[in-house]
Copies of this chain bind each other. A is one copy, B any other.
Amino acid sequence: MNEFDWIRSIAPKSHHRSSVIQGIGDDAAVFRPRCGWDMVTAVDSFSEGVHFTRETMPLDAIGYKLLAANVSDLAAMGAVPLYYLVSAAIPAEGWELSELDPVYAGMKRLGDACSMDLIGGDTISTGNGLVLTVTVIGRVEQDCSLLRSSAKPGDVLFLTGPVGLAAAGLNRLLTHGRSVWGDDPDIQAHQYPVPHVAYGRLFAESGLRVAVNDVSDGIAHEAEEIAEASGAAVTIIREQLPETGLNAERAELENWMLRGGEDFVLIGTASRADFRHLQETCCLQKLPLYAIGYVEAGEAHVFMERNGKRERLTGGGYSHF
């Protein structure tokens, strides 16, 4: 099967979204936006050896997780996911075109769950190591996108789920490889993270001022981004971080929770009154929402409070260089 036949084989035969005017099969894709909505777009790449190895990730999980990371960015803006495009740079050795089928199937599984359509892509050859790039496009009601710059002193800092599980799973996968693949929550959290689209939509639809980031790089870093974009100080209260059920040394557990990343839950802030309202609305949909700290006037730093004592946290975040 050559490249052109393979592209035909992965091109969807029908679309979830009637707004797709032209999908795969022309020079570019065409879709019809809905009046009164803004479009939201993001791009993320995964490279073999850096984001995954064949020991840490089943083939379908590679595709699933890359799309999940992108959809999580849409969720963090409050957007409805709509479409995605995939570019694959495939090494001359070590990968068969047919091995990409499960990778694309993993993307399709999440895409279908979100009623997203694959509308474009590119496949090229490269020297060494698979590089996959996904672009996602979604929509959000005009002026309702959840910007990280909108936090204000007095806000509650919240999380939409526990953090640290994905890092704990990666830690076990790097040590034990495929032998630990399976249903354990930390392994699932690393391989098949669930983007929190429902939360994002609920926040955007509320029309309230909600500052949101997705937790791709660890909450210390994400909180720092909110602090810097909003020009305020953010404090995380250690005792209020939701339990993960993980069994580990205190320091290691805390490192995973604060700097682990790739949990793809949302971290955000809202005024005290709005937070109570959001928590009740979330509760009705069986979506827990955890208050984990607060925002106050001051330099754009992040602090951690533990046993009533406060120290400054430096964000970190994974730098590729």
Mask, A132-148, CB within 8 Å of B = 1, is 01011110101101011
Q: Does A245 contact B (CB under 8 A)?
A: no
Chain B residue numbers with a CB within 8 Å of A213 are 27
A131 on the interface (CB 8 Å rule)?
A: yes
- Decide yes or no whether A2 CB sits under 8 A from chain B: yes
Task: Given the known inter-chain contacts A27-B73, A127-B128, A147-B22, please indicate yes or no for A45 contacting B89, CB distance below 8 A.
Answer: yes
For A31, A123, A131, A143, the residue with the greatest tally of chain B CB atoms inside 10 Å of its CB is A131
- Do the beta carbons of A27 and B76 come within 8 Å of each other? yes
**Most chain B beta-carbon contacts within 10 A, residue among A21, A37, A48:** A21
**A317 touches B (CB below 8 Å):** yes
A155 contacts B by Cβ under 8 Å? no
- Chain B residues contacting A124 (CB-CB under 8 Å) are 45-47, 50-51, 131, 320
B30 touching A42, Cβ below 8 Å: no
Contact bitstring A306-321, B, C-beta under 8 A = 1, else 0: 0000000000010111
Contacts of A37 in B (CB 8 A): 33
